[in-house]
């Protein structure tokens, strides 16, 4: 219900009542149709609570001007071959293994495959890095992935091709603001997406990835727990709609997936009526609603192999196409349309931070042993608890 700060007392009562009405109306409009949908017509103050909480919480989505533009260097074939040979040699010399995400450069994915490393989603990257005997992990992805590897393997040295590779979800969840949100809702189980900083993970009860988020929330809701979810509002909305869980959502978004557009997708579906539509759940609800399969990067790759369609329209970062073509040869993959009005991730469906993982940067990291991920041990130990809960989840 509405906080006592908004309850009228004494003089000025009518003015304060009017303020409450305005706040409620404005925030109800802001909350939008998805809150009302998710409420399933309940009339028990549920929406009022959500409206109140949202009134206290600003939108943490990044503005286009806050997102870097990154154009990877063009390398002639001979130079790429030379770089790859040097990287392979140094991986052996440094007792290092390469752990890469599906969204990074195809050459780096191939290198990981060819040298006994792994190419995977963030859940499998975490597992692989923890279990591999190498003393050094080279993580090609974005910073939270390097941090996760370090949290789980504090005894190993973890390096990344660049420490500038951020994530809009991580940036859109400042630990101080998030702590205040948690403190204001002490009755809720705190579930955070892996795309967060070590400091945010340290505040959580559970960490989840898009592979297991739905199952874990379902499990918690089954025990009657109310959830505080951060930071991706689209993934949170998707999980809430699927599970019916009582979830209070932080308001962050992925700058890549948020750009997929419902109308443009239905237009392209008319051109390829037999194509299957594969969608990552960080995408907006309207795009998710017309998917044939919704899932994490690994689940999208699996769907492309399993479903009978010859053609797929894929709504996730286009870095995944490298693995899709290798995993389902002979099938055709089409990029789902985005906003299309810019010359960066808004129009190319490629994460600018993932694009910073380049061969030359990877070689320089191995040569100079710089760009090391360092985590304060106490906070790392606290963040390890919710991460291990996820990894132990059946
Ligand atoms: S694609 Fe989106 S969620 Fe993934 S790292 Fe880039 S900004 Fe973050």
Lowest mean pLDDT among 87-101, 181-195, 203-217, 253-267: 253-267
- Which residue spans of the chain are classified as CATH 3.40.50.10800? 77-168+354-392, 257-348
Neighbours of 72 (CB within 10 A): 15
Lowest mean pLDDT among 39-48, 72-81, 236-245, 303-312: 39-48
- In whole angstroms, give the CA distance from residue 252 to residue 255: 9
Quick check: 65 pLDDT over 90? no
Q: Cβ contacts of residue 276 below 8 Å, gap of 6+?
A: 292, 293, 303, 304, 307, 309, 311, 312, 313
To the nearest whole number, what is the mean pLDDT of the chain? Answer: 87
The distance of Cα 65 from the centroid of its chain, to the nearest Å, equals: 20
Instruction: State the number of CA atoms in the 13 A half-sphere of 167 facing the CB.
Output: 25
Decide whether any atom of ligand 1 lies within 6 Å of the 152 Cβ: no
Does 3.40.50.10800 match the CATH number of domain 257-348?
A: yes
Quick check: 33 pLDDT over 70? no
Q: Write the residue with the smallest CA distance to atom 6 of ligand 1.
A: 351
Q: Write the residue with the smallest CA distance to atom 3 of ligand 1.
A: 254
- In whole angstroms, give the CA distance from residue 392 to residue 394: 6
Arithmetic mean of pLDDT, 239-248: 96
Q: Cβ contacts of residue 285 below 8 Å, gap of 6+?
A: 34, 234, 237, 238, 241
- In whole angstroms, give the CA distance from residue 138 to residue 272: 40
Arithmetic mean of pLDDT, 39-65: 59
pLDDT at 332: 97
Quick check: 277 pLDDT over 70? yes
- In whole angstroms, give the CA distance from residue 260 to residue 121: 20
Cα of 313 from ligand 1 centre, angstroms: 19
Quick check: 20 pLDDT over 60? no
| Helix axis angle, 122-131 to 377-392, nearest 10° | 110
* pLDDT tens track for 336-361: 998 755 444 455 789 999 999 999 99
Q: Where are the beta strands (DSSP E) in the chain?
A: 96-101, 118-120, 136-140, 157-159, 189-193, 206-208, 227-230, 247-249, 276-279, 293-294, 311-315, 332-335
Phi and psi at residue 93, to the nearest 5°: -60, -35
- In whole angstroms, give the CA distance from residue 7 to residue 247: 25
- The DSSP code for 69 is P
Cα–Cα distances (Å) from 106 to 110, 140, 320, in that order, read: 6, 11, 9
b/e 33-63 (16+ beta carbons within 10 angstroms → b):
ebbeebeeeeeeeebeebbbbbbebeebbbe
In testing the pocket of ligand 1, which one of 67, 195, 352 has its CB within 8 Å of the most ligand atoms?
195
Q: What percentage of the chain exceeds 90 in pLDDT?
A: 76
Arithmetic mean of pLDDT, 203-225: 97
Q: Provide the pLDDT confidence category of residue 246 given band limits of 50, 70 and 90.
A: very high
* pLDDT tens track for 139-198: 999 999 999 999 999 999 999 999 999 999 999 999 999 999 999 999 999 999 999 999
Nearest alpha-carbon partner for 230 in 221, 222, 239: 239
Decide whether any atom of ligand 1 lies within 6 Å of the 291 Cβ: no
Nearest atom of ligand 1 to the alpha carbon of 257: 2
pLDDT at 34: 40
Neighbours of 86 (CB within 10 A): 15
- In whole angstroms, give the CA distance from residue 230 to residue 222: 20
β-bridge partners, 293: 278
pTM of the model: 0.85
Nearest alpha-carbon partner for 151 in 390, 357, 378: 378
Using alpha carbons only, how large is the chain's radius of gyration in Å? 22
* CATH architecture of structural domain 77-168+354-392: 3-Layer(aba) Sandwich (3.40)
pLDDT at 347: 55
- In whole angstroms, give the CA distance from residue 132 to residue 394: 21
- In whole angstroms, give the CA distance from residue 175 to residue 179: 6
- In whole angstroms, give the CA distance from residue 281 to residue 288: 7
Cα of 271 from ligand 1 centre, angstroms: 29
Decide whether any atom of ligand 1 lies within 6 Å of the 336 Cβ: no
Arithmetic mean of pLDDT, 360-372: 97
């Amino acid at each position: 219900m509405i906080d006592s700060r908004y309850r009228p007392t004494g003089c000025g009562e009518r003015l304060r009542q009017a303020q409450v009405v305005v706040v409620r109306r404005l925030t109800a409009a802001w909350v939008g149709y998805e809150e009302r949908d998710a409420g399933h017509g309940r009339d028990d103050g549920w929406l009022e609570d959500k409206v109140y909480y949202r009134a206290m919480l600003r939108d943490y989505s990044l503005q286009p001007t806050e997102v870097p533009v990154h154009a990877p260097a063009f390398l002639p074939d001979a130079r790429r071959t030379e770089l790859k040979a040097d990287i392979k040699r140094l991986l052996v010399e440094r007792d290092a293994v390469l752990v890469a995400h599906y969204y990074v450069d195809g050459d780096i994915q191939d290198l990981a495959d060819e040298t006994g490393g792994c190419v995977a989603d963030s859940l499998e990257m975490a597992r692989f890095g923890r279990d591999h005997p190498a003393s050094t992990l080279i993580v090609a992805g974005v910073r939270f992935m390097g941090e996760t590897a370090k949290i789980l393997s504090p005894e190993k040295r973890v390096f990344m091709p660049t420490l500038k590779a951020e994530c809009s979800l991580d940036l859109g969840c400042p630990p101080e603001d998030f702590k205040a949100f948690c403190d204001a809702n002490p009755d809720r189980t705190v579930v955070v997406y892996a795309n967060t900083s070590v400091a945010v993970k340290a505040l959580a009860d559970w960490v989840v990835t898009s592979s297991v988020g739905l199952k874990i929330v379902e499990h918690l809701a089954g025990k009657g727990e109310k959830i505080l979810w951060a930071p991706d509002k689209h993934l949170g909305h998707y999980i809430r709609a699927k599970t019916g869980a009582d979830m209070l959502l932080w308001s962050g978004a992925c700058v890549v997936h948020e750009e997929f557009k419902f109308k443009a997708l239905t237009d392209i579906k008319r051109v390829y009526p037999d194509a299957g539509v594969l969608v990552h759940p960080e995408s907006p609800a309207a795009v998710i609603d017309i998917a044939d399969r919704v899932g994490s990067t690994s689940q999208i790759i699996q769907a492309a192999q399993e479903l009978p369609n010859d053609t797929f329209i894929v709504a996730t970062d286009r870095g995944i196409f490298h693995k899709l073509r290798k995993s389902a040869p002979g099938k055709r993959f089409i990029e789902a349309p985005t906003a299309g009005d810019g010359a960066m991730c808004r129009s190319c469906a490629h994460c600018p931070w993932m694009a910073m993982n380049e061969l030359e940067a990877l070689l320089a990291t191995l040569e100079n042993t710089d760009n090391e991920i360092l985590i304060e041990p106490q906070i790392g130990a606290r963040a390890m608890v919710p991460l291990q809960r996820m990894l132990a989840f059946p």
